Chain A
C-alpha cells in the first residue's frame, strides 16, 4: 500500500514540524542561534523512553519529556544569557556535545550506544471516559501527532503574534534598545528558550515512541543540520515558511528513491542531488521562502 508509506512519511513530517517551529521560535523570532536544540530533542526522547520502559503511562512520559527539556532549557539559558550570535552558537553547540556524551557514556542509565529498544507505542486513557486510546496503528499515531502539531503551531503562533512576541523580535533586532525601554531581556530570552525546549522535548518523545528504538547516534549535531536547514530555507521568523520548508525538505529525498541509480552509487547520488536542490533554493532565495530577517 502506498498509503502506509505516505502515513509513515507524514508522521515524520509532523515530528519535524514540531522540532522546526520550536527552533524557529528561538532562532527566527528571538535571534538565539541555538545549536543545542538537538540536545533538548535528545533529552525528551530519552526521558520519555526511559519512563515508558519503566511502565509509566504515556501521557506522563510525554509531558515529562517536555518539562524536563524545558528545565534544561532554563539551565542552559543561565550561562548563555549574555552571549550573542556566533558565541551563543558555540556555547549551545557545547551543550549538545555534553548531552550526547552523557547519552553515550552513562551506560547504566541509557545503555549507551546499545540504545533502548522496545519502547512501547503510546496508549492512554482518555479522562472522564472509559475509552482507552491505543495508538498502535500508524494512522492513529498520525492523527495524534497531527493534533499535537496543530496545538504546538497555534501556541507558538499565539506567542509570536502577541505583544510578548513583539518584544522577542525587538530583542532579536536590538537588545540594548529593548532594555532601555524597560524590558528584562534576560528573562525574555530565557522564556523563549524554555518554550522552544519544551516543544523539542515533546517532539523527541513522539519520535522515541514512534520509531520504538533510540540510540545516541540519532542525536548528534549532524542531525540538527536538516532542522536548521528547514528554518533557514523556510525563512527566519516565518512560521508559514517553516511549514512549507519542512514538508519540502522531509519529502524531497523520497522521489529520488524512484530514480533507478545503479546500486554502486545509489547512496551518494541521492545525497548529491538533494544537496544541489537545497543549494539552488538558497541561491535564488537567500532569505528562504518567506524570510523577513537575515541571520547576523
Chain B
C-alpha cells in the first residue's frame, strides 16, 4: 500500500468517524421524555425522475407539521419529520426504511411514493409493526402486503373503471384508441380502462404503449391514426409526458378529440402540450372540494410555486393529520392501537370525507371532468363521489 492509498483510506475513515461522532453528539437521550419531539419518517423519491413527486409530498408534510407545531404539537410534544431518499428503487428504499426504523426509531413512515418503494419496505415494516401511510403508490398488490399499510389514493382499478364509464356513457365515445406508457401505474390503469370500456360495448381500436422515458411518440400515433378512432385516450405516467403526447397527437391528427387522465389537468401538462390540450376533456381527481382548495392555496403561498399536481399536497397534508388523530386517540406510540383507530374511524380532511377498508385502502374519493380552455383546466359538471368497499 503506497502513501496516497493510505491517505485516501485515512480520509474516508476520518469522514466515517467524524460523522459517527457527530451523530453520537447530536443524538438526544434515548429515554423518551414528554418533551422530546415525535419522530415521523418520510421516505420517497427525493432525487432522480420521481423527485418532483416526493418533494411535493414532503413540502406538504412540512407545511402540516409547522401548522401543528405552531399550535403546540400533539399532547405537548412537537413533531419532527426525518426525510430519507428512496430513489424510487426497492433496494434504496429498504436501506432508508432500515435506517428510519432502527436508528431513528420511528414508528410511522410516510411513503413511499413509487410502488416499488412501498412493496420493498412492506416486509420490514410489518415485522417491526411500523405504520406506513402511502400517498400515491397505486400498485394493486399493496392492498395485500400488510395490515399496517394504509393508502390514500384510489387504486388504478378503482379510478380508471369510472373513467371508462364516464367517457363511454356520458361523453358518448364508442370508438377510441389508447396511448400510454410501459410503467406499473400505466399498465394497471389502462388494463382497467380497456376492460371496462369493452364491457360497456365500446371499441378500443388501438392500444399503443411507449417505453418509459421515450419522448417521441409519432410512430405510435401514426399507427393509431390508421385506425381512425373518434378520440384518443391518453394515460401517461407523468404530467409532462401527458402534455407531450397530446402535442404530438394534435400534430398528426388535428381533428381528433383528446381524452386525458389523471395529472393531465395540471399546469405542467398544459405547458408541455404547447396549447394542444385546449379542447381536451380530462377525467381526474376533483380540485374543487373546498377543504382541498384551502390547502392548495396555502401551498402556493408557503412555497411561492404551483404544485405539480393537485392531489399530492392534499394527501401529504392529510397523512400528517391522520397521524395526529391516531396519536391523540392512543396512548404513546402504540401502532396496534393507531392501526385499529385508522381502520375504524371516519375522517374529514383536505381530500374530503373518507375511511379505510379492511385492506387499508381509501374507500371514498372525488373525481371530476375538466375541460381545457385558454390553457387552463376548468371543472365541468359537479364533483363525482366514488365509493368502493
Please report A residues at the B interface, Cβ cutoff 8 Å. Answer: 1-5, 8-9, 12, 101, 104-105, 107, 112-115, 117-118, 207, 211-215, 217-218, 244, 248, 251-252, 254-260, 263-264, 266-268, 270-271, 277, 280-281, 284-285, 289-290
Contacts and interface: CB of A to CB of B under 8 A. Distances in A.
Interface string B5-39: 10111011001100110110010000000000000
B26 A263 contact: no
A289 B90 contact: no
27 contacts: A2-B102, A5-B98, A8-B94, A8-B98, A9-B98, A101-B211, A104-B211, A113-B212, A114-B188, A115-B119, A115-B139, A211-B94, A213-B90, A214-B90, A215-B184, A218-B116, A255-B23, A258-B19, A258-B23, A264-B55, A267-B47, A267-B87, A268-B46, A281-B8, A284-B8, A285-B4, A289-B9
Contact of A4 (B55, B81, B98): B98
Contacts of B11: 280
B5 A112 contact: no
Given A105-B182, A267-B46, A212 B85 contact: no
B58 interface: yes
A258 B22 contact: yes
Given A112-B187, A218-B90, A267-B85, A213 B119 contact: yes
Contacts of A105: 182
B5 A289 contact: yes
B285 to A, nearest CB: 22
Given A213-B90, A267-B45, 19 more contacts: A5-B99, A104-B182, A112-B187, A114-B115, A114-B139, A114-B184, A115-B115, A117-B141, A118-B141, A213-B120, A248-B12, A255-B16, A255-B23, A258-B23, A263-B81, A267-B46, A267-B54, A268-B46, A268-B47
Given A213-B90, A218-B89, A1 B116 contact: no
Chain B interface size, as a band, is 35 or more
A203 to B, nearest CB: 13
B116 A217 contact: yes
A266 B103 contact: no
B202 to A, nearest CB: 23
Contacts of A3: 102
A207 B198 CA distance: 40
Contacts of A268: 46-47, 51
A2 B187 contact: no
Contact of A211 (B1, B23, B87, B90): B90
A12 B95 contact: yes
B145 interface: yes
Of A5, A107, A267, which is in contact with the most chain B CB atoms at under 10 Å from its CB? Answer: A267
A3 B94 CA distance: 15
Given A112-B182, A258-B22, A267-B85, A118 B91 contact: no
Which 8 A-B residue pairings sit nearest by Cβ, starting from the closest?
A267-B46, A255-B19, A267-B47, A5-B102, A113-B184, A258-B23, A267-B85, A8-B98
Interface of chain A, helix or strand or loop or mixed? helix
Contacts of B102: 1-5, 8
Interface string B264-290: 000000000000000000000000000
B8 A289 contact: yes
Contacts of A290: 1, 5
Given A114-B184, A248-B12, A257-B84, A212 B139 contact: no
A215 to B, nearest CB: 5
Contact of B15 (A211, A255, A264, A289): A255
A284 B187 CA distance: 48
B76 interface: no
Contacts of B212: 104, 113
B140 to A, nearest CB: 8
Of B115, B119, B122, which is in contact with the most chain A CB atoms at under 10 Å from its CB? Answer: B119
B88 interface: yes
A3 to B, nearest CB: 8
Interface in B102-120: 102-103, 115-116, 119-120
Contacts of B141: 114, 117-118
A41 to B, nearest CB: 12
A281 B10 CA distance: 12
Nearest to A248: B12
B357 interface: no
B229 to A, nearest CB: 23
B134 to A, nearest CB: 14
Contacts of A244: 9
B72 interface: no
A268 B85 CA distance: 9
B55 A252 contact: no
B332 interface: no
Contacts of B48: 267
A225 B106 CA distance: 32
A268 B55 CA distance: 11
Given A5-B102, A281-B8, A215 B90 contact: yes
A8 B98 CA distance: 7
Of B9, B42, B90, which is in contact with the most chain A CB atoms at under 10 Å from its CB? Answer: B90
A114 B187 contact: yes
A8 B84 CA distance: 16
Contacts of B16: 251, 255
A285 B45 CA distance: 33
Contacts of B101: 4
